[in-house]
Amino acid sequence: MFSKSTEPRSIASQLVFFFTLASSFLLCCGLGVLYWIFVRHAFEEDTAGLADKVLALRADLTTASDPTALNEELKIQQAGRERVVYWVRLVSSEGGSVAETPGMNALLPASIFPPPESSNQSVGNPKDYRMGGKYFALVTTVEEAGGRPYTMQVAQDRSGDEQFVKKFGALLAVVLALGTLASAAIAITVTKRGLRPVREMARSVKSFGPERLHERIPPDGWPRELQPLAVAFDEMFDRLEDSFTRLSQFSADLAHELRTPIANIRGEGEVALTRARTADEYREVIESSVGECERLSGIVDNLLFLARAEAAEGNIQRVMFDGRAAVEKIAAFYEPIAEEHQTTLTCSGRGEIHADPMLFGRAVSNLVENALRYTPAGGKIQISIAAGTADSQISVEDSGCGIAAEHLPRVFDRFYRAESSRSSQGSGLGLALVKSITDLHGGSASVKSEVDRGTIVVLTFPNQPAPQASS
């Protein structure tokens, strides 16, 4: 079974989520530290108050002649108060209660207090005790009064402070929740505002069409982060416009090239059918039609080769072979035609070529055939090989009529011919085939020419295949 692909999350939702998460984390840390400091400070103050109370009671015992007099003072402290903060019990060495805050025995029995350690015990770490919704801090010390030891048990009621701490914690939780919501709202607002240029760029790109390929996205008005994207879009539209223009031109040229032989075949056939013809006349019409069909077949074959070359993606069989032997074989094939045209065909140079032998032969053959077509009687054609460490070059030089400078940039375009008068001499696909073959090998093709002095076409084949771009 195939799992369904999950829809990718939008950039906006991710920005909002992570911004809210980060803000909530920072807010939680800040409020947590504030809560910890507040609670610690509150209980430290309570502990300090408890220590002061113990010191005060110790002073009272030291100055009092009778410890039982402490009962009156404890009654006075409890009188008129809704909540007693400190509960005190003084126990004799025999275990009896000498003095006690009224009602303490029912609320805080002596057994729950921690045992004393020394008369100078610190109250920095009192014992916690909870009972009936109340919270107490208990401490036990050993004191002397009148030369006799007494155990003093002191309880501090911290219920009010604990309730306040709980309310403070709840308040901080509400602040955290509201802060999280506020962070989310701010994140949504900021994200929408920050991504607004992206939406505007998307609308601009969406409005482009075949009739508006000339328009561009100027990078100056966009944020700095989007300027490279705007430049990339402009470069893409440049390539699309160029491809669209070339495709339109190619379609027009293809229609023109196919229309001419078809019109010739149709015209000759219609003329032949206007009246009865002799066998020789019908034979001439058929031979002419066959010639036009051969021309159509050549155009179709060349177009198929170009399409296959573009789809090959570099998957060709490159081998090392003797370049001199390969060009001499090509020269020997065209030697009879050169003699018929009274043209001298020579080869020079040596070197190893790293290429597909069949494609290499077709490229050089196209150049030689093209040179023979435009070189007058008595001219010369030379095929040269120059091998280097990085690449090898094959040049075909002729002493023909040459090509005007304004035509040189387009001689490798499909169906392009420098002069319309030469339209009957070829389909304009020969040099386009040569360029496709060199591009397929990762090489290049260049041309130099002067009118009435000749043309040099140089093909470059790298000695190693060009690296393929990773998909």
What is the SS3 string spanning 353-399?
EEECHHHHHHHHHHHHHHHHHHCCCCCEEEEEEEECCCEEEEEEEEC
Residue 123 pLDDT class (50, 70, 90 cuts)? low
Instruction: Collapse the DSSP code of 200 into the 3-class scheme (helix H, G, I; strand E, B; otherwise coil) and give the result.
Output: helix
Measured at the alpha carbon of residue 324, what is the angle toward residues 318 and 326, in degrees to the nearest 5? 55
Strand residues in 51-203 grouped as ranges (E): 86-92, 97-100, 127-131, 134-145, 148-157
Give the confidence band of 60 by pLDDT, cuts at 50, 70, 90: confident
Alpha-carbon span 356 to 316, nearest angstrom = 7
Better-scored residue on pLDDT, 399 or 61: 399
**Rounded to whole angstroms, what are the CA distances from 195 to 179, 180, 224, 367?**
24, 22, 13, 55
Q: How confident is the model at residue 256 (pLDDT cuts 50, 70, 90)?
A: low
Instruction: Report the alpha-carbon distance of residue 333 to residue 155 in Å, rounded.
Output: 120
Gap between the Cα atoms of 360 and 434, Å rounded: 9
Most confident of 302-306, 347-351, 460-464: 347-351
Mean of the pLDDT values across residues 206-220? 69
Q: In terms of C-beta density within 10 A (0-12 exposed, 13-18 middle, 19 or more buried), how is residue 368 classed?
A: buried
DSSP state of 442: T
pLDDT attached to residue 3 = 47
Residue 315 three-state SS: coil
Residues 394-413 pLDDT 10s = 999 998 888 888 888 878 87
Q: What is the pLDDT of residues 307-359, one digit of tens each?
A: 666 665 556 778 899 989 999 999 999 898 889 888 999 999 988 998 888 88
Token couple for 471: 């998909």
Angle among Cα 446, 467, 352 to the nearest 5 degrees reads 60
Going by pLDDT thresholds of 50, 70 and 90, the confidence category of residue 424 is: very low
Which pLDDT belongs to residue 34? 92
Predicted pLDDT at 209:
67
Q: What is the distance between the alpha carbons of residues 401 and 454, in angstroms, rounded to a whole number?
A: 6
pLDDT of res. 2: 44
Share of the chain above pLDDT 70, in %: 83
Which stretch of DSSP H or E encloses residue 460? strand 454-462
Spell out the domain ranges in the chain. 11-169, 209-311, 315-462
**Fold that domain 315-462 belongs to in CATH:** Heat Shock Protein 90 (3.30.565)
User: Could you tell me which CATH class the domain 11-169 is placed in?
Assistant: alpha beta
pLDDT at 468 over 80: no
Residue 176's contacts (CB-CB under 8 Å, 6 or more residues apart) are 24, 27, 28, 31
Quote the CA–CA distance of 81 and 410 in Å, as a whole number.
Answer: 107
E strand or H helix that includes residue 470: none
Can you give the pTM of this predicted structure? 0.49
Q: Give pLDDT, residue 147.
A: 73
Question: pLDDT tens, 65-93?
Answer: 677 777 777 777 766 666 778 888 888 87
pLDDT at 291: 79
**pLDDT-based confidence at 420, cuts 50/70/90?**
very low
